[in-house]
Structure 1
C-alpha cells in the first residue's frame, strides 16, 4: 500500500465502521426494508414512509461516503496511488456524487411527483390497497383518461428509476471498496 503516512488504529476503525455502516444500510434499505414494506403497507402509506426514510438514508449515506473518501484521500496521495487504490479512490468519489444526487435532487423530485399522484389517486378512491394491486385496471383507466396524472406518473417513474439506478451503483461502489479493504487485511 503506497501511502504518505500510515493511519493510526482509530482512523482504521473509523474508516471500516463508516464503510460497513454505509454498505449494511444500503443492503437493508435497498433489498430488505423496501420489499417488506411494499408487501405489508398500502401504496400511499408505503410512499409516505419512504418519503420520510429516504432523505435521512441518502444524507447518512452521503456523510459516510464523503468521510470515507476524505480518510482514504488523506492517506493515499495521488502521486503514490497503485492501480487498485486509483480504482478505490474513483469508486469513493463516484459514491459521493451518486449519494449527493439522490440526497439533493432525485429523492425530492420523486417525492413531489408521488404526492401529486397520490392526491389524484385519492380523488378516485385508489391507493389504499396493499402490495401488488388487484385494481391495476383502475390505475390504467385513470392514466388513460387523465393527462395530468399520466404526466405525473411518467415524471415519477423517471425520477424513481434514476434514483434507484444511482442507489444500486452506489451500493456496488461501496461493496467493491469493502472487498478491496477486506482483501488487504492481514488476518482476522
Structure 2
C-alpha cells in the first residue's frame, strides 16, 4: 500500500543519507581504496584485506539499497510513476539484485579461490611483493608448470571480473539515482 502525501523531513533525510552513503562507499571502495592498497601492501596482504572488506561493503550496500528502494516505492505508487521514476525504481531494484549476488555468491567464491591460489603461491615463495609484480616471470612459469594453479587463477579472474562488472553497474545505478534525487530534492 503506497504511503499518502509527501514524505516528511526525517524520511527525506534518511533517503538522502543512505543514498549518499552508498554512493560515497562505492566511489571509495571501487576507485580509491583498491588502487592505494595495491600499490602499498603485498599481494597476499591486499587479497586478505579485500576478502575482509568486500563482505562488509556488499552487505552495507545491500542494506542502503534496500532502504532506498523501500522509501522510494512507498512514496511513488506504481500507478502514478513517471518515466523517470520508473527508471529510478528499476535502477534501485537492479542494484539490489546485483549486490545480493555479489554478497552471497561472488565474494565468497572469489575469496575461497584466492586463498587456494595464495597457498600454491606461498609454496613457491611468491605473493610478498608490493604492487606490480617484479616476479611476473615466476608467476607465468608457475602458471605454465602447475595445471591446478592455472585453473585456480582462471577461476579467480573470472569471478573477480564478473564481481567487478556487477559492482560497476551498481555504481552507475546509484549515481544515476543520486543525480535524479539531486534534481528533485523537493519531492524525493
Q: TM-score range by the shorter chain?
A: over 0.9
User: Does residue 99 of structure 2 align to residue 76 of structure 1?
Assistant: no
**1:5 and 1:60 mapped to 2: Cα distance?**
29
Matches within 5 A, 1:21-32: 21-32=21-32
Q: Who is 2:172 aligned against?
A: 172
Q: How far is the alpha carbon of 1:185 from its aligned partner?
A: 2.6
8 Å contact kept, 1:118–1:127? yes
Does 2:138 correspond to 1:113? no
CA apart distance, 1:134: 1.1
* Deviation for aligned residue 1:128: 0.2
Rounded to whole Å, the distance in 2 between the matches of 1:94 and 1:70 is 14
Q: TM-score, normalised by structure 2?
A: 0.96
CA distance in 2 between counterparts of 1:102 and 1:62 reads 10
2: distance between equivalents of 1:104 and 1:12?
A: 30
Q: CA RMSD in A?
A: 0.9
SS of 1:76's partner is coil
C-alpha distance in 2 between matches for 1:4 and 1:166:
34
Aligned length: 184
After TM superposition, give the deviation of residue 4 of structure 1 in Å: 4.1
- Partner residue in 2 for 1:16: 16
Distance 2:66 2:143 in 1: 41
TM-score by length of 1: 0.96
Give the corresponding residue for 2:39: 39
Do 1:58 and 1:102's aligned partners in 2 also have CA atoms closer than 8 Å?
yes
For structure 1, the residue ranges without an aligned partner over 5 or more in a row are none
Quote the Cα distance in structure 2 between the aligned partners of 1:40 and 1:15: 35
Q: Distance in 1 between matches of 2:91 and 2:123?
A: 45
Q: 1:6: how far off? A: 1.0
Structure 2 counterpart of 1:91: 91
Match of 2:148 in 1: 148
Equivalent-residue separation in structure 1 for 2:140 and 2:4 (angstroms): 61
- Where 1:132 maps in the other structure, the secondary structure is coil
| Structure 2 unaligned residues grouped into runs of 5+ | none
* Cα drift, residue 74 of structure 1: 0.5
What is the alpha-carbon distance in structure 1 between the residues aligned to residue 167 and residue 176 of structure 2? 14
C-alpha deviation, 1:184, in angstroms = 1.1
Q: Contact 1:27 / 1:171 at 8 angstroms: preserved in 2?
A: yes
1:31-78 per-residue CA deviation (whole Å, 9 max, x = no partner) reads 011000000000000000011111000000000001100000011111
Tell me the distance in 2 between the aligned counterparts of 1:185 and 1:61: 22
User: What CA distance in whole angstroms lies between the structure 2 residues aligned with 1:161 and 1:49?
Assistant: 18
